[in-house]
Amino acid sequence: MTDLAFDAAFFAALLAASVRLAMPIAFAALGGVVAERSGVYNIALEGLILSGALAAAAGAHATSSPLIGLAAGLGAGAVGGLLVALLTVTFRVNQLVAGIAVNILCAGLTAFLARAVFGLTTSTQVPGFPTLDLGPLSDLPILGPALFAHDALTYVFVALCLLVAALLFLTPWGLALRATGENPRAADSAGLPVMRIRYLALMLSGMLAALGGCHLVLAQVHIFSDGMSAGKGFLALAAIILGRWHPAGVALAALFFGLCDALQFRLQFAIPGVPYQIFQILPYLVSIAALAWTVGRSRQPAAAGLIYVREQR
């Protein structure tokens, strides 16, 4: 009986950690879906997570309010998305190059601004969102800690996932967005404002990715540190492909990566004789294997990655 209770407690803790670690990836992947459905690769997800994290930390630190920090993070994400749109849509820079450039810019700029805001210390605590008490639901065996013992931003993600799915597949705006991502020339001929749609999609994408950074700071570690995104933006890009450009699919893919991340932490403690770096690469090895498995099994939006030049009329 004791062993059974231990196994149940271990499994519940593993699932809860998986959900928590998946959230930054899930937010960023959801933003990537919106961008790629409009026909633009948002390779800058990594940098946008960092920007949202720093803005959230600075806002919460300055005002002692996590809500102000969240608003600051969303603002930083919108600005980052606007920058990606300016480069890819207006100046027609190669989308991969533009995304890498924004990632580098965000990495350097956040490291510089963090020292301006917090000084040389990296241990400045900021207020964040506490774990919600959902009463009897939180006390359910296994499912309680896994599903009903999280911060408010986790449940915001669930609502946003449903909202984005409804917008994409049940509204005229979603139809226009998807048409832009499949055939922008035909969409333009039909009278759709392709440039405006892509600008809006990339700003929304930036805000969603920045929410991943907000979750890191305001719900997980409550501090900002250089490079704290730690490749989560790139895992989000893999989750987009694994999830086949659908909000529900990317949520499941992000949870899978969160499970791999939670497992590697536990393996580090369970097998102390093995260098911990070997376990740290587990999520990335799994993502490579999963992407290799999806080759030929999924189809991206037809115009994703292609530069669109509007014909003069």
Q: What is the pLDDT of residues 111-120, one digit of tens each?
A: 999 998 888 6
Q: How many CB atoms lie within 10 A of CB 216?
A: 29
Residues of the chain with pLDDT > 90, as a percent, come to: 66
Task: Compute the mean pLDDT over every residue in the chain, rounded to the nearest whole number.
Answer: 90
**Residue 226 and residue 157: Cα distance in Å, rounded?**
25
For the cut 90, the answer to whether the pLDDT of residue 182 exceeds it is yes
Q: What average pLDDT score do residues 268-283 get?
A: 79
204, two tokens = 């929304």
For residues 124-145, give the mean pLDDT: 84
The answer to whether residue 39 scores a pLDDT higher than 70 is yes
Give pLDDT, residue 121: 67
Considering 123-127, 214-218, 270-274, the range whose residues carry the highest mean pLDDT is 214-218
Ordered DSSP codes for 67-90: HHHHHHHHHHHHHHHHHHHIIIII
Q: What is the pLDDT of residue 2?
A: 44
Q: Which residues contact 24 (CB under 8 A, 6 or more apart)?
A: 49, 212, 213, 215, 216, 229, 232
Q: Which residues lie below 8 Å from residue 201, measured CB to CB, with a gap of 6+?
A: 34, 35, 37, 38, 40, 177
pLDDT score for 276: 74
> What DSSP letter does each residue of 97-112 carry, written as one string?
HHHHHHHHHHHHHHHH
Distance in angstroms (rounded) separating the CA atoms of residues 200 and 81: 9
User: What is the band of 3 on the pLDDT scale with cuts at 50, 70, 90?
Assistant: very low
pLDDT band at 71 (very low <50, low <70, confident <90, very high): very high
pLDDT at site 153: 95
Average pLDDT over residues 171-175: 96
Question: Residue 145 above 90 pLDDT?
Answer: no
Q: Which of the two residues, 155 and 11, has the higher pLDDT score? A: 155
pLDDT category at 5 given cuts 50, 70, 90 is: very low
Q: Which stretch of DSSP H or E encloses residue 56?
A: helix 45-63
Q: Which of 228, 188, 176, 223 is nearest to 57 (CA)?
A: 223
Sign of the four-CA dihedral 172, 174, 176, 178: negative
